[in-house]
Structure 1
């Protein structure tokens, strides 16, 4: 295992859990932690444009109150005094939530999203809202209100979307932990493009209440993002559980898989890359293969697998029939008569060709079949190891990519992530290494429904043994 760098890293690259412990132990004050991050924002954000609303004054006031609680010996939450960031599609009471669109510029919610409330109750302090594409409906983060976010590893590349601003600020040390969301790629993909960790838990584990758009809640997942899997696990432990509002979030916090492995049984891991999700950059496939060997060395039963059901059907197109079939009619209430105010992303969303009801129902059936295929897979294995994105961080505004010598549509970036939104399976993005271009490469771990514990356990072990552990994009 590699030696952790937490004791020598600057404050802005410390883990959220470490910062909470330091504040609790009076090694540093919450005010000092918040100020360090505000200074980091001032220095770095002009280079990445990840922050859209900064809550500096409020955060410092909250930090002063947090320090008083420490000094008074009060009961402290697991993230007491630690600042956090919030994707600008997630409601924040009294603070703008502009949803990446001129149609909502200046909009101020009167109530926090459930996940924001839970982070606050854990002692965390809201510090910033982060950039997104219009309506969170794209794999890059760009809009007409707050502009384009840049990747801190290389500004000529995108940090992804729709949680791209969130991934950029965490990777660059502007925030230690944050909240993003994912309907096809938007937690795991941006995490992979910027070399951080992110968890899309089982659908319904984390309440969607207070996220825009309210439609598509059967596919959307809110999740934690951080530089380490350990912090992601901490964030997940805080935000999961039914809230009595989201009709999909109905599960007990300790809900377990229906078909868990036997006591003492080795974790069974199948790994796959090109054959199921190709074309895939050879460096990414090599990273998946190397991670498979690491898991074998760590005591797992590991073997390469084939997923014929992924090879035979265009699941991505099938899924997007459902996504746009719900999103476009819903958004018309906001966009009608305001088309001139839409970014190219918003225009493309609203121009997506909708299919008739028969085709929509057929797509529903194909997605149900996909769930069955994965249910069968997880009778034989505990974990699926695979790529996150088929390529490293791409250039801005590209309509197609060349991957392993093959030209593919820009939609191909979601080939290995969208199936797990469609099925609701838990999936974790884990930083592993850097490419020959010094761009991050992550791998993805997927488990059976409600088995976040296994992939979080493996993810932490993988990350702490990885080449990327402790490396950051900006000094």
Structure 2
């Protein structure tokens, strides 16, 4: 497949559009041509908007020609996960229940992108109601990984990651409740950013778990991701969790050409949970990436974060309980319309008592003190984005470290849930490829509302390695075969587990409660913390 304008980044395209060297019409045509070439293999979209996109491209062209250039996203084609409301365009949430739902307004983030002149080309495939990490969708078919279309792209924002990697959109928006931006970004070899809880509005986005949900961008480079976040971030009075913390120009702060750009920065890594039970190739590539951070001037420190594995199980209980509140009426009246990926989770969530849910949130409040203390000693945390590379669609087991395991079990694929549990910003950036040519991601986490520092480290690493530009996904290679077979029938056994069992989670709660009572003073409320860089004093920020 020949090189196209669609393969370019926002950073490359914006000056060409501003100078009128490239027109929005020309660029949109290239993106739509790539969509046509790849969709039979990837199924990254639920709804395609070719006619609407071309009309918007012609309008953007008129505006730019007449001196009305709006900024770096003007004339840039983008997609959104099909959880985002789009006025007059169906928004399915990847479900049968909302297959024909048409909102009468745009999500705040979509409206902000349109105001910036970006051009919506389609709505991306997603795991049903964002409730899993594989994007094996029983109603619309699975989204596929551009590096190997027989494998998952990750989820739940799998269609978003796949379309960006294949250049059938220049960037996309996803959501992240337990890693659903960062995991597919890692598995598809692109960049995905989950900003601080409250940084990006979720108004007009189907919820999964309101106290864990984040909205954010997926793009081809760190600079692109930073540019999109600068546009979509900021207070929204229609989102109760939205923060009024000032939003900087993230992309403007990224500098290239400094020999040791991370000089003086303290970056931690934690063996417990993050590096346990990893695929050997993932472990090797991530540790090589951390060594590069050291070469760039960072001081690398091993840190200990207690009770991480137990907290991930607590996270799953919170997510399930909050999910049920949105779905309870439909579970009662339309249970047959839910897929086998989600219905068992909803039915099990009915067993979670109010007491159990409140106890998990109380423990979550207390556990914030662990993270606050950690960031007195370090500036950033560098860990894997996933525990394994992309696995085959429909696979019930994979072989990992001498054992056959269910790749959907807690602790197998994901290493991202702590960033939702604490609400801290974290990014996934490509850090290499396995021997089979599958991408692997490095995850970098920072303190609340300091996404700039996270971007700085990720950008420095990216510029030192340029993984994002070194290889071409298999689906874009000239000798790649045609349309992939449909595998909707393969997925009957592919149920994403809620957790090991309600009883086991209650045992974990009891254990955590006693440990936290002994080690940590109870927090007064769940508020993300920020660290004063000069004094290392930790303060609360109200959301």
What is the TM-score of this pair, normalised by structure 1? 0.92
Bigger drift between 347-356 and 239-248 goes to: 347-356
Which of 276, 279, 299 is matched with 2:277 structurally?
A: 279
Residue equivalent to 2:246: 253
Relative to structure 1, the CA distance from residue 467 to residue 121 in structure 2 (aligned partners, 3 Å threshold; closer, same or farther) is closer
Query: What is the alpha-carbon distance in structure 1 between the residues aligned to residue 42 and residue 69 of structure 2?
Result: 37
Query: What is the alpha-carbon distance in structure 2 between the residues aligned to residue 210 and residue 223 of structure 1?
Result: 14
Deviation at 1:162, TM superposition (A): 0.7
Contact 1:274-1:280 at 8 Å conserved across structures: no
Which of 389, 394, 397 is matched with 1:392 structurally?
A: 389
Residue equivalent to 2:71: 77
Relative to structure 1, the CA distance from residue 234 to residue 170 in structure 2 (aligned partners, 3 Å threshold; closer, same or farther) is same
Which of 223, 226, 249 is matched with 1:230 structurally?
A: 223
Deviation at 1:472, TM superposition (A): 2.5
Residue equivalent to 1:243: 236
1:128-175 Cα offsets, whole Å, 9 max, x none, are 100011111111213343211111111121001110011001001111
Relative to structure 1, the CA distance from residue 323 to residue 467 in structure 2 (aligned partners, 3 Å threshold; closer, same or farther) is same
Residue 381, structure 1, aligned to residue 378, structure 2: yes
Deviation at 1:401, TM superposition (A): 4.1
What RMSD, in angstroms, separates the aligned Cα atoms of the two structures? 2.0
Relative to structure 1, the CA distance from residue 125 to residue 219 in structure 2 (aligned partners, 3 Å threshold; closer, same or farther) is same
Residue equivalent to 2:341: 345
Contact 1:390-1:403 at 8 Å conserved across structures: no
- What SS does structure 1 have at the residue aligned with 2:121? strand
1:189-225 Cα offsets, whole Å, 9 max, x none, are 0101100101000000000100002x62221000010
Give the alignment of 1:6-85 within 5 angstroms: 10-85=4-79
Relative to structure 1, the CA distance from residue 301 to residue 292 in structure 2 (aligned partners, 3 Å threshold; closer, same or farther) is same
Give the alignment of 1:70-469 within 5 angstroms: 70-213=64-207, 216-254=209-247, 266-273=264-271, 276-310=274-308, 313-353=309-349, 354-409=351-406, 410=408, 411-413=410-412, 415-466=414-465, 468-469=467-468
Deviation at 1:253, TM superposition (A): 2.5
Contact 2:233-2:247 at 8 Å conserved across structures: no
Query: What is the alpha-carbon distance in structure 1 between the residues aligned to residue 271 and residue 397 of structure 2?
Result: 20
- What SS does structure 2 have at the residue aligned with 1:104? coil
What is the TM-score of this pair, normalised by structure 2? 0.81
Residue equivalent to 2:472: 472
- What SS does structure 2 have at the residue aligned with 1:351? helix
Query: What is the alpha-carbon distance in structure 2 between the residues aligned to residue 171 and residue 197 of structure 1?
Result: 10
- What SS does structure 2 have at the residue aligned with 1:465? helix
Deviation at 1:307, TM superposition (A): 2.6
Gaps of 5+ in 2: 250-261, 478-543
